[in-house]
Amino acid sequence: MGIWIGDARKFEELREENERLKERVAHLERLLKTSGEAIDLALSPSERALVLDGRKLEAVKAYRDRTGVGLKTAKEAVDAVQQ
């Protein structure tokens, strides 16, 4: 019986952590949707330098390689630098 109680406690901790993470992700998604500046901050200095040098395709590729985001999201992040 003691093992089951420990499992229930662990399950509850994981459920609470999951809820906190969902809230954090939702908050970050709202920031990205409402602020081009927030997206701009997601670029690394080297990616930002590529954009400012006119090498947008390389910046998109570097951003995707680093973050794992899709093409559309990476393009939006890179385009936000020039706004």
CA dihedral 43→68→65→51, nearest 10 degrees, is: -30
Looking at residue 30, its pLDDT comes to 73
Residues 6+ apart with CB under 8 A from 67: 42, 74
Domain boundaries in the chain?
Answer: 1-34, 36-83
> What pLDDT digit, counting tens, does each position of 55-79 carry?
999 999 999 888 888 888 889 889 8
Q: For position 35, what pLDDT does the model report?
A: 59
Q: What is the pLDDT of residues 37-54, one digit of tens each?
A: 555 457 889 999 999 999
81 band by pLDDT with thresholds 50, 70 and 90 = confident
- Whole-angstrom CA distances from 44 to 3, 5, 52, 61, 62 are 47, 46, 12, 12, 9
